[in-house]
Amino acid sequence: MSFDTTEANRRSGAFADRDELWLFGYGSLIYKAGFDYIRRTPATITGWQRRFWQGSHDHRGTPEAPGRVATLVEAPGAGCMGMAYRITPAVFDHLDHREKNGYLRFSTPMQLADGGVEDGLVYIATADNAAWLGPASIDAIARQVLVSHGPSGANVDYVLKLAESLRELGADDAHVYAIEARLQALAGAD
């Protein structure tokens, strides 16, 4: 089964007509860009919330034992804090490859830390992609994360680094913090 969305993102051509644009990161993009950018600033999008409902078969897990990584799900009135990067389309190849496991390019308005509002690019894995794992209890998510490893490392490191980065931003994210707390409790029980 293929999860690769690289070609779909290239064919869409979304944002390819711009010299520069904003990219919104809400998972590992907050703390690990891995690409050249012009500017970086905290930002918030509304109507979305971060959830560990996407499978990671290529970075934090394997096809046989996927990890769980963040995606966005619609949530009217909710706010999701992350990091905005001013980029050029030259980084699309890198981003499309990095986000290839079910993530597609979407456009969303984001409020930058300076109060400005800009339309930007965001990669979202929706429920209709082949790597979608969907909702689960905090305990079930934490137990899966605890045992998952992939080419990019341990799934638990992804969750803990994201929680740490969100705290540094002053973000309120009960879902991420609950998974972090459950992981710490499970690790302490060993």
Longest dimension (CA), the chain: 53
Are 98 and 92 in contact by the 8 Å Cβ rule? The answer is no
In DSSP notation, 10-31 reads: HHH-TTTT-SSEEEEE-SGGGT
Q: Could you tell me which of 86, 9, 84, 81 has the C-alpha nearest to residue 48?
A: 81
> Of 7, 74, 99, 180, which one is the catalytic site residue?
99
User: Would you state the structure tokens that stand for residue 29, as one six-digit string?
Assistant: 């993009």
User: Would you state the structure tokens that stand for residue 9, as one six-digit string?
Assistant: 């993102």
Which residues lie below 8 Å from residue 5, measured CB to CB, with a gap of 6+? 96, 99, 100, 101, 102, 103, 104, 129
Q: Rounded to 5 degrees, what are φ and ψ at 38?
A: -90, -40
Q: Is 118 a catalytic residue?
A: no
Catalytic residues, by residue number, are: 99
